[in-house]
């Protein structure tokens, strides 16, 4: 089932400020979408609007092309998994899972033994066999989360909304459940929207990552698209580790404030600017400067180096030279792979196309450095 959001706005009932601000999004049937963004961005609010838990003041929600704006949450046939599980504490696990079937109107309610069989199947599917008689407080966090998921799936929803479902789990269990959720999504042909704080989780799970901020969608696309063409510095900062270097542009050359970083060509207007680069994209150039790089940790062919630049220390992850030296003296840093920003936006090109490599394309694809 596809989900369509058209210019959804929800205002804070108290002060009228938008919590969700003119959001449009098309979620294809069978896709896995991750909703990411800083705290307070409006992710939960958007999810609740889709589910019908919160009203919106403008725009339309459509499921499979049908507008559901005025439809009650219970009539939308959407599954929702809450951050804190929201299990019924006074019911056994089996009763929790069977709840959605047992509250159906008399005519549509399955027989008791049919419900029991469905519950057993779901317990098996969730790898919870034998726990049906327990109570929620007798389960671990990961088990509770799976019970919540089983309870949601029992009624056979085609759209599954998950609000930070793994927030309270330890990293190991998280990884485990993550992979298993993805296979579940595929096996059941669900359309899934997942809110998460974990960018790695989003990248691993989702076909589409939607980045939100201040109630708006900053960028939506495949994880690769967000990595390759971040819409703005905020996106780039959110999707991975980042080194920010202050500096100035004169005569189309960006010179960082820190010493021992090689200047890079920059086809933008003169003035202060900022260069954003991933630590893995920084290259070490031995013999071209005065900095000393000290190996902190080697991981396969990659080395994590501490580089002292004046009073600052930068951490750089890069391909090591074949002899894996512990100390590289007289280094300079090559940040050609970075992007130039000004006032929290990419700096716009002044005179394209600018001749002569190495150059930085402020927008669009960047030129990749040789080392990675």
Partner 1 sequence: MNPSRPSSFPGLRWQRDPLPGFGLGLGMTLFWLGTIVILPMVALVVRPWGEGLLSGLRAFAHAAHDGRMLAAIRVSFTSALLAAVADLVPGLLIAWALVRSDIPARRLIDMLVELPFALPTAVVGITMATLYGPNGWIGGPLARWGGHVAFTQAGIVLALMFIGLPFVVRTIAPVLRHLPRDVEEAAGILGASRLQVITRVILPALYPALVTAAGMAFARGIGEYGSVIFIAGNQPYHTEIAPLLIVIRLQEYDTQGATLIGFVLVGISLLSLAGIGLLRRHLSYGTD
Q: Tell me which residues touch partner 1 (CB under 8 A).
A: 51-53, 73-74, 78-80, 82-84, 86-91, 99-100, 103-104, 135-137, 151-152, 154-155
40 binds, among partner 1, ligand ATP, Mg ion, none (CB under 5 to 8 A by kind): ligand ATP
Which CB, 89 or 172, lies closer to partner 1?
89
The position carrying tokens 């929207």 is 193
Is residue 42 within the footprint of ligand ATP (CB under 6 A)? yes
Smallest gap, in angstroms, from Cβ of residue 80 to partner 1? 5
In terms of DSSP bridges, do strands 78-81 and 66-67 run parallel, antiparallel, or are they unpaired? Answer: unpaired
Residue nearest to Mg ion (CB): 44
Closer to partner 1 by Cβ: residue 67 or 74: 74
| Least CB distance to Mg ion at residue 137 (A) | 24
Contacts of 303 (CB under 8 A, 6+ apart): 295, 297, 317, 318, 319, 320, 324
Nearest CA-CA partner of 328 in 275, 272, 286, 274: 286
Contact flag: residue 41 with ligand ATP (CB under 6 A): yes
- Taking the C-alpha atoms of residue 48 and residue 34, their distance in angstroms, rounded to an integer, is 15
CA 372 → CA 130, 209, 240, 278, 301, distances in Å?
49, 24, 16, 11, 11
Q: Which stretch binds ligand ATP (CB under 6 A): 10-18, 130-138, 150-158, 228-236?
A: 10-18
Nearer to partner 1, 89 or 287 (CB): 89
Cβ-in-10-Å burial (0-12, 13-18, 19+) of 171 comes to exposed
What burial class does residue 365 get, using C-beta atoms within 10 Å of its C-beta: 0-12 exposed, 13-18 middle, 19+ buried? Answer: exposed
Looking at the Cβ atoms of 44 and 235, the one nearer to Mg ion is 44
Query: Least distance in Å: CB of 41 to Mg ion?
Result: 8
Of 305, 260, 263, the residue nearest 280 (C-alpha): 305
Alpha-carbon distance 37 to 211, whole Å?
Answer: 5
Counting contacts by CB under 6 A, is residue 196 touching ligand ATP? no
Q: Which of 12, 57, 222, 224 binds ligand ATP (CB under 6 A)?
A: 12
Q: Which of 246, 303, 301 is nearest to 276 (CA)?
A: 246
Least distance in Å: CB of 315 to ligand ATP? 27
Residue among 5 and 150 whose Cβ is closer to ligand ATP: 5
Which H helix or E strand runs over 49?
helix 43-51
Question: Based on CB atoms, which residue is closest to Mg ion, 44 or 192?
Answer: 44
Task: By CB under 6 A, tell whether 57 contacts ligand ATP.
Answer: no
Q: Of the listed pieces 33-41, 280-288, 328-336, 352-360, which binds ligand ATP according to CB under 6 A? A: 33-41
* Nearer to partner 1 among residue 42 and residue 100 (C-beta): 100
Please give the residue ranges that form the binding site for ligand ATP (CB under 6 A).
12-14, 19, 37, 39-45
């Amino acid at each position: 089932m596809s989900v369509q959001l058209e210019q959804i706005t929800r205002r804070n009932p108290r002060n009228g400020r938008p919590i969700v601000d003119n959001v449009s999004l098309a979620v294809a049937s069978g896709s896995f979408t991750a909703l990411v963004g800083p705290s307070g961005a409006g992710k939960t609010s958007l999810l609740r609007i889709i589910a019908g838990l919160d009203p919106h003041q403008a725009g339309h929600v459509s499921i499979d092309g049908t507008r559901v704006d005025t439809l009650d949450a219970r009539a939308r046939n959407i599954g929702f998994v809450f951050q804190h599980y929201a299990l019924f504490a006074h019911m056994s696990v089996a009763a929790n899972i069977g709840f959605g079937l047992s509250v159906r109107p008399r005519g549509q309610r399955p027989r008791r033994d049919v419900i029991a069989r469905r519950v057993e199947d779901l317990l098996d599917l969730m790898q919870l066999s034998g726990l049906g008689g327990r109570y929620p407080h007798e389960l671990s966090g990961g088990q509770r989360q799976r019970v919540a998921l089983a309870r949601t799936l029992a009624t056979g929803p085609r759209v599954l909304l998950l609000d930070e479902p793994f927030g309270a789990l330890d990293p190991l269990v998280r990884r485990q459940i993550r992979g298993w959720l993805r296979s579940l999504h595929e096996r059941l042909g669900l359309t899934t929207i997942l809110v998460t704080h974990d960018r790695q989780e989003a990248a691993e799970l989702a076909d589409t990552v939607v980045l939100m901020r201040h109630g708006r969608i900053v960028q939506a696309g495949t994880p690769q698209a967000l990595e390759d063409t971040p819409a703005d510095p905020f996106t780039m900062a959110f999707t991975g580790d980042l080194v920010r270097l202050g500096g100035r542009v004169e005569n189309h050359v960006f010179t960082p404030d820190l010493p021992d970083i090689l200047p890079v060509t920059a086809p933008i207007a003169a003035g202060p600017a900022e260069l954003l680069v991933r630590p893995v994209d920084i290259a070490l150039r031995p013999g071209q400067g005065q900095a000393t790089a000290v190996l902190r940790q080697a991981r396969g062919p990659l080395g994590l180096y501490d580089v002292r630049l004046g009073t600052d220390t930068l951490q750089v992850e890069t391909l090591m030279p074949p002899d894996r030296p512990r100390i590289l003296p007289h280094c300079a840093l090559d940040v050609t792979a970075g992007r130039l920003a000004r006032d929290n936006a990419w700096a716009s090109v002044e005179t394209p196309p600018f001749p002569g490599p190495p150059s930085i394309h402020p927008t669009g694809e960047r030129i990749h450095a040789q080392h990675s």
